[in-house]
Structure 1
Amino acid sequence: MYKRRMLLFLQILVTFAVLKNIHCNGTLCNGNWADNDEVCCGGEIYQKFQNSKEMACCTRSGKTELYPMGEKICCGEQLIPVQPNQSLACCNKELIDINIYSCCGNKDFGRKYKSGKCCVDWDNKTVGIHEGLKGRKKCCSTEVYNKDTERCIYGPLNKHKIIVRKTSMRKCGTKQFNSDTSLCCEQNEMVIPKPPVKSGGKQPYWICWNDKAYDANLYYLDEKTSRVILIGLASCDNVEYNPSAQMCCGNKLFPRNPGKNSTCCGNGIWDLDDTSETCCNGTFIPTSNHGCCNEVPFKKGHDVECCARELYDKTSHLCCKSQSSYMTVQPKLSADHTACCKSPETNQMKTFNNYTEECVNGQVREKVSNNVVTPRQISEINPPKKPARCEFCRNRLDAAHCKKANVYEFFVYDQRESENGTIFNAIILQPFRRSGKILTGEKIKIRTRNQCECFKPKRSFYLFTNRKIKSLKQNRYNIRFTSSDVFIRKTEHSLVVKCLTQHHLGTNKSRRRHS
């Protein structure tokens, strides 16, 4: 028994070693391996490069989200847009300007610093040097030294590191020069003399930029513009400025307000604490009546909405939950569908009408409603009566009907009969109107004066009326239609199209005669 257990244990170790060797460059993601060209986000594996953009994962309020690096930055559970001319980084949940600060240690647990010396992390390991001192500079504990002329070694008793000088002779291309008195401009292999050193003060560290000698303790080279700039300043459209007092947005300078949490939006300043507007693709939009979907602005209150960073048409699609925190756009299988049903076995998504149907274990089935009365139940309760003539249920449309101001398409999902007429609940599917607010999806209760056989539950029909839907909605429990209002079943759709077409042509002819 003991030998069998040991053999099984050895087999597990071998299998683990093989898997580790195979996926040594990968990442374990919810039990699956993500390769170097993939990214793990929320337990799902995605392609790291999408539309020529490198993607990364950001966790905000416990939810994960993919975002394009270079366009946005994830810091402190915030996903902040970044302009091309900004040099931002995250340091311990704080957004910093790398032209001014550097991050000491890990970006998640480090601390920002602004210094000409090296940074030592919590483990007493040298991990960083200020951006303006990079190049030929290295760190020796907390001190900076030139690796060409100096060495970093342990001092007495190996307790502290110290800097010692190397020989002064160096090569500049094919030329020999004394590094104590001269400087090599490596780009052109040119030797230039070092400027005289003033007595007192900090020892300068000379470096050649643009064929001139500069003290790297005071200046740095802006690689974007190839300008030599005083440390603490930055360049905006070839103009030097102080980033602590100004902001550069779209090559324009703006004064910085220390009391506001601001960033750039296009060519302007965006106050992140102002909830009345937001930045969408470099443009300010009001949040009261506009939204931003994957950097695309859209107007709220219409048929277009945002779902999973994708704009969709509510009349033809639905926003469905595919996983616990992920949404997806799904086309409607029918115009009256209002919800989504996902199969746990196949993960396939279906749409259905949740007023008449229900989703049970990924299967759509008919919903049993206590408000729907069958003909058999009616005959058992009351003896059958000859129904009164329903004057607005018609199988044809005349010219007067076609001139009605409003045409609506309804879907009846519940219906009951009373002694004085018919009461039914419906959903507006399409408002065939020439102007006004779009009312698709509105629910309404309508009463009629007579018991009308033309009304059947779970069917669609058209309403021709001069009444406005606003009045119907406000008085939905008191409205009774008259013979001037016309209902026609959707099966007579060709009559509706013909009617609307003739009315449209007639209106155009009348306008031409008057003109």
Structure 2
Amino acid sequence: MKDSHHLHCCGNVPYKISGSSCCNGKITRGLSQLVADCCDSVAYNPLNEICCNGRVQTRSSPQAKCCGEDIYLTTTHLCCGGNKIFKWKENHTCCGKELYDMTTHCCCIGPTLEVKTKNEICCPKPTDSNKKTECKQSSSLTRTLPKNAELKCGSKPYNPLKRICCSGKLHKKASALTKCCGEEVYVLSDDSVVCCNGILHHNVPEQSECVGGVIYIPENTTCQMSARPRLGEHCCGGHTFNPHTHICCNGHSHNKMNGNFCCGSDVYDHHNQLLRCCSGHLYNLTHFQGKAECCGNLLLESDETQTCCSSSTNTIIYDTKPNHSCCGHYYYNTSLWSCCAEHLKPTSKPNSPPAQYRLKPLMDLIPEMCNKTVFFGKVESVALENHQRHVVLKVVWQVDVKSEKIIKDSWLHVSLDHCSSPATDNGMTYLWWKKHNGEYKLLSPPLDLTSDIHMFYSVCYQKKG
């Protein structure tokens, strides 16, 4: 079995961005680079922490900012001169490192910034011409004041209109379509690259897709060879294969005697309890002690000390902390943020608890769901009303394993608690469960209709037999 997880280099040391971060040549374990920022040589979670002059501190509020090495709230205080904090007062603002009353004083710009009474010569007079001067002085004052710490990438200041910060590394911003992929940048309009789980893949064919951490290339009827296959032959990568005796997994042909399901480029027997497929990565559990479950393409080895947070774009493992919860693939402090349908808001709402469950890969659901009323439902439209998300579903495939009855093309109206349910996208198909009380529950991330329906039906039917 091959380890298909991609490695990056941090100095001379290899590391995986799925569980570690690299900052200035030093590795921080237990925090994925996909959600981390750098504070000098230490990685930190910017949702729950803040970096002030190279020191990581716990956030007291989502509105917290740095003033030198100290933290202050922009809603109640002012930071003057980059390192002096004053309590906010009406009609007061900064002049260098001083706070002054704009109704009685002014800020004079000379060799240094000084607070003067309004009768001083340098203060603008209440005439139209002087109003223009006052505007010029205010503009000059704004440029003279130090920039906020929020315009820093690690410890380096930058202009977000011209540059972009990706996991602590600065890059030139070619256009508004420039986006981060791990530490690298790419342009959304570039069809030759694909960002897959924080790894940028170059020179890929057009229309290539990232699914479960694996790059899928559009079907090629020539088997990626110079000549077309003969009539009746099937393509598998650069070769042909017999689908009656072999199975093709990502361009690699395998004998069905070794298994009849693909996991990335490998084949495996789903009856083998010592093998676990996690989004294209096959794990051998022979030497594993305890319960294991998938967290995207990673293996969650302990559900007590580790927490898996997943969204439709990323799945990340975090060290479990008290008063923290998942919001999509982010792990947030519930006293700082609130989560609604996998979107964070900088306000804590104790009366709106986060989702108590996460979506799981289909193979993790199959053993439990084979004897339940489940179906593949495509989201056609969504409407919000009184904290409820009303979803119109097209049932594209429902299998009653007991009676072997197949139901297709029916319609359902499903209501979910909006904030505590994972997000849904129009046009995507998910696995749903109808409970005994008539309520519906979303179970899986978006599914592939052809392969996932086949896998679900064949595995559950075999289990029934």
Q: TM-score range by the shorter chain?
A: under 0.3
Larger radius of gyration: 1
Question: Normalising to structure 2: TM-score of the pair?
Answer: 0.25
Question: Normalising to structure 1: TM-score of the pair?
Answer: 0.23
- Which fold has the larger relative contact order, with Cα–Cα distance below 8 Å and residues 6 or more apart in sequence? 2
